[in-house]
Structure 1
Amino acid sequence: MKYICSYLLLFVAATSFAQSTKTINQSGNPIFKGWYADPEAAIFNNQYWVYPTYSARYREQVFLDAFSSKDLVEWKKHPYVLDTAAIKWANKAMWAPAIVEKDKKYFLFFGANDIQSDQEVGGIGVAVADKPEGPFKDHLGKPLVDKFHNGAQPIDQFVFKDKDGQYYLIYGGWRHCNIAKLNNDFTGFLPFDDGTIFKEITPDKYVEGPYMFIRNGKYYFMWSEGGWTGPDYSVAYAVGDSPFGPFKRVDKILKQDATIATGAGHHSIIINKKKDKYYIVYHRRPLGDKDGNHRETCIDELNFDKNGNILPVKITTEGVKAQKVK
């Protein structure tokens, strides 16, 4: 029996070591150390960037770190690119950043304070910097969205640039998703032709975490389903002809693998156009870990079939092969 126990201990140790290390040519998962969730991925200046939520108790979520990489394998940490010292109206739950470069400035959108009603201070804010690593400062001195519109909690923001150059804010928790047309300097919104500011585009089973991209002229709208602390957390998608849809749910494409990790969701996409490579960056939980805030940022390949359907993602411990932007 003692030999069997010794073998099992060695196997567990080897498995743990394999999951926490990376080779020269492979990213490994998670891609960097620490509890991080809701990753927003981008490419700036021929480098990959990831801006995640610091995954902790709400009162401890008072800053945002960023990570950069030249090859998806080696990641450099940029601590405290934004914190509540720069955002006077924010005091907790700084969540799910979204970032975009415009006019040689970097605009970092974030949720803060986890407001539960229109009477509370908080919502979606905007910070701005001259470099992707910050430091970022408050762009408005107040939230950009501080009320519930169409039932959507003002969290989980994503900024989408359409083919005509128009930027949209897509956001929403509490099972509702809105789209709004940003003005030129990101200080507010432009009304749609019917005079409304916030249009609801909520697809079936939507919960939170919206994301959108264009491929071959089609608009791919993605979101997270299930409960963020549970095993059913996952990502689904729809396809439309415009950023307004209508969006009919196609399928679930990211979910847990009970042999690798649990609760895989709240993602973003890296599109390397020069290499025609798509990567999904997301968070998941280590096997057997019951702490709701123990979430790790991971990366795996995103692929399509010949008809443009997104294929189910295989989550891995190996991650992806080294790939430079150019």
Structure 2
Amino acid sequence: MKRLALFSLVLTLGAAAPAPQGNPQFQGADPHALMIGGEMWVFPTGGPVGAWDADRFHAFSSRDLKSWRDRGELINRKSIKWVRDDGAPERFLWAPGVTRANGKWYLYYSLGPNTPKFSHIGVAVADRPEGPYRDSGKPLLTGRTGFEAIDPMVFVDPKSGTPYFYAGGSAGSTLRVFELNRDMVSIKREIAVANPPEFTEGAFMHERRGIYYLSYSHGRFNGESYSVHYATGPSPTGPFTYRGAILKSDATHKGPGHHSFVVTPKGETLIVYHRWENPSEPEPYKGERQIAIDRVSYAPDGSIRPIRMTDGAAAPTLSPTR
């Protein structure tokens, strides 16, 4: 989730773009990554190549994490009919989250800002990951005093098949968790969870060997304090035990955060996130963030070891698949 000044997002890649040399991968923010058909797909905030759009989403995919293909427009704000129903003077799209269920693809998105009217989270549905996505016709969740409805993430528990919906952050820095109905576009119930230590925004859930990992961003998005922390629990709703920070600023990369975890076909876990590259001025940082991908390592007890940010060819790659 990011403020209005950040919406000048320009993605510098496309179908014909030259292959970058590892990290940073490309310009963008708030990446939700998935493995689909042997490719890594990244769904970031922003629109098409060379544009400043906070009114649409695009997706990008790669078979090797060296060259990226623009998959085109997923959804445009113009097709979301309820955008101005609450009388807000302006609305922007950011921080998408994507999941597959019922043979369909579901795109959850933030619609803000949170002032002068409360923000919303919406959901749209498609037959393919690249869309086109059809909006459900109404907000899935709306903010309230002390809670900003932003940064959606949906996790389908591999054990039970239950879909869980995580949302919230920034203004209020409050996390809320819900169980979705199996239609994936409506809420069944809210589940009370304790707000995790150091939580600011950008919750993400993944499971490994029976441990559920709730990870999230802490700090101010355009400053050195922005970082990734995590907690673990026996279920998607906890109770969670705080485990500490795993991704923090270093000498040249600042404010890493708003991340997702993804497991490659070879079983390697990667973290996909955005960061500021060696900012030349003190915070608040200005300009554009870059998307990067790095390796994740677990200790024998299941804890996540601190993640080292890499540059260039030191970044992980995928073996091309047919």
Is this a same-fold pair by TM over 0.5? yes
Determine the structure 2 residue equivalent to 1:125.
122
Instruction: Tell me if 1:322 matches 2:318.
Output: yes
Q: Per-residue displacement from partner, 1:211-232 (whole Å, max 9, x unpaired)?
A: 0111110111100001001111
Q: Which has the higher helix share?
A: 1
Determine the structure 2 residue equivalent to 1:243.
236
Q: Per-residue displacement from partner, 1:78-118 (whole Å, max 9, x unpaired)?
A: 2322220111233532111000111221100000122247x
For the aligned residue pairs, the C-alpha RMSD in angstroms reads 2.3
SS for the counterpart of 1:61 is coil
Instruction: Tell me if 1:184 matches 2:177.
Output: no
Determine the structure 2 residue equivalent to 1:309.
303
Structure-2 separation of matches of 1:289 and 1:183: 47
Equivalent residue for 1:230, pick from 210, 223, 226 = 223
Q: Per-residue displacement from partner, 1:144-192 (whole Å, max 9, x unpaired)?
A: 001338x33110110011120000101111311111000011231113x
Q: Per-residue displacement from partner, 1:5-24 (whole Å, max 9, x unpaired)?
A: xxxxxxxxxxxxxxxx867x
Q: Is the 8 A contact 1:110 1:126 kept in 2?
A: yes
SS for the counterpart of 2:198 is coil
Determine the structure 2 residue equivalent to 1:194.
none
Determine the structure 2 residue equivalent to 1:171.
167
SS for the counterpart of 1:94 is strand
Question: Which amino acid is the alignment partner of residue 278 of structure 2?
Answer: L
Instruction: Tell me if 1:76 matches 2:69.
Output: yes
- Which runs of structure 1 show a deviation greater than 6 angstroms over 4 or more consecutive aligned residues? none
| CA distance 1:296–1:154, shift in 2 (3 Å) | same
Determine the structure 1 residue equivalent to 2:38.
46
Deviation at residue 45 of structure 1 after TM alignment: 2.6
Q: Percent identity?
A: 36
> Which structure has the bigger radius of gyration?
1
Mapping 1:241-280, distance limit 5 Å = 241-259=234-252, 261-272=253-264, 274-280=265-271
Q: Per-residue displacement from partner, 1:33-72 (whole Å, max 9, x unpaired)?
A: x3x10100012233211000129xxx95111111011222
Structure-1 separation of matches of 2:181 and 2:321: 30
TM-score normalised according to structure 1 size? 0.82
Structure-2 separation of matches of 1:322 and 1:218: 26
Q: Per-residue displacement from partner, 1:113-137 (whole Å, max 9, x unpaired)?
A: 22247xx264100011111111112
TM-score normalised according to structure 2 size? 0.83
Unaligned 5+ runs, structure 1: 1-20, 192-196
- Total equivalences in the alignment: 288
Q: Is the 8 A contact 2:140 2:187 kept in 1?
A: no
| CA distance 1:236–1:121, shift in 2 (3 Å) | closer
| CA distance 1:167–1:71, shift in 2 (3 Å) | same
Equivalent residue for 1:154, pick from 131, 149, 153 = 149
Q: Is the 8 A contact 2:193 2:238 kept in 1?
A: no
Unaligned 5+ runs, structure 2: 1-17, 84-89
